[in-house]
Structure 1
Amino acid sequence: MTTNDMTVLGTESKELAIAPVEGEPRILDTDLAEVLGYAQPRDIRQLIARHRTALSELDAVATSEVVVGKGQRTTATYLTKKQSLFIITKAETATAIETTIKVIERFDAYERGMISNAPARDPMDMLRDPAAMRGLLLTYSEKVLELEAAVATQAPKVEAFDRIAAAEGSMCVTDAAKDLQVRPKDLFNWMSGSRWIYQRPGKAGYLAYQDKIQAGYLEHKVTTVSRSDGSEKVVEAVRITARGLAKLAQKVPGARRPGPSTQAAE
């Protein structure tokens, strides 16, 4: 899920402003990074990228392409409450507890419709309040357990997915379609429309775009075939690597992740 039109609410606490994305409250990744104490807030996007699969199992991942210095582009992520708490546990910074307090309070205030007139409580005041701390730590523990349980249920699928991505070898597009459980025609059409493969005028076969070869998603395999007259010709065919298969499993509509037993054809 992507978004390009964000309306920020709760500007009285800019570092943790709530942004509704398709009706769902979210926090901008760099805002969360600032409260967590990141020297370079955009560095949190590396952590998010490493755990994107787990985040997608918690809630839909909402992203937006933004322009940074000198025309460079990067992808911002808008995190739900569960996704924010998950990233906090993975960040393990010195301000994790204070950040958890802010995140829970901001989302709770938003859900109660009080975001515009209920400024966030100073975390240091809560740290000095034993009753508040007991309630906060209980809530925090419950949220962590919920997140751990949610991620644990997805661990076998994530592990199998990573094994496929790290495997060696390649396969033709038709075999890849079988593994992804989509029609070969649909996979060819998607790859062609998404700038993975193309056809030269007057040629029947497909070729891979260079950027997909450099990314390790595709490769060309040259084979020699015999003509009916006994002569030979060289044929170049597009092959999908294991890494490419894993990427297609994420991108192609209706595709299913290959199971643990799936192996890329040599």
Structure 2
Amino acid sequence: MSTREIADLTGKRHDHVMRDTRKMLVELHGEGGVPKFGDTYRNPQNGQEYPIFHLPKRESLILVSGYDLTMRAAIIDRWQILEDRRSPTAMLSDPSSLRALLLENVEKVIALESKVEEMRPAVEALDRISASEGSMTFTQAAKVLGVKRDTMTRWMVVNKWVYRQNGSWVAYQTHIQNGRLEYKEANYTNERTGMKEQKPYCHVTQKGLAKMAQAFATEVQ
């Protein structure tokens, strides 16, 4: 129940009800507890907003306990009406209550859809990783991520994962230690000698792939 409604029912000035309410809330909940009851009201005549409080039944009854009998009775009667309207049978038979219930459920559905949309990048990232096994070369990782290899390596350079040295990709030690990158021996043909040789190449691990998949999905989103 709002302090405006309490003022109307008791015939008291709203600023006096606000004063009494603030004093009561401070005594009950401390200064830190007052804001959670606060709200604003827009006056339809001048379009300006004014502060009000919204009180649960307990706080409403405590507030009017200091008022005279007629005022207390008016508030108690009003709460009885509000509670009757909240009963399932009454709500389904009362058009205004049914409309409010439907709007409340629509808002919950919208909020749920928004939450699902926020989670989509992470879900897509996990889907990509589930299709991969073990650590992989940059080319393989880019394919799993669904981006160009150059796009992925640029991202890795900008975010201090790797740097270029003597024509090879070198991992920053922090990403080796945290398990996002690792080195694997790979066979290659020496262009000068034509001989088959082995050389350590930087690979992306499952952990590193997960991190990049989520980052890329979020940026695209």
TM-score by length of structure 2 reads 0.47
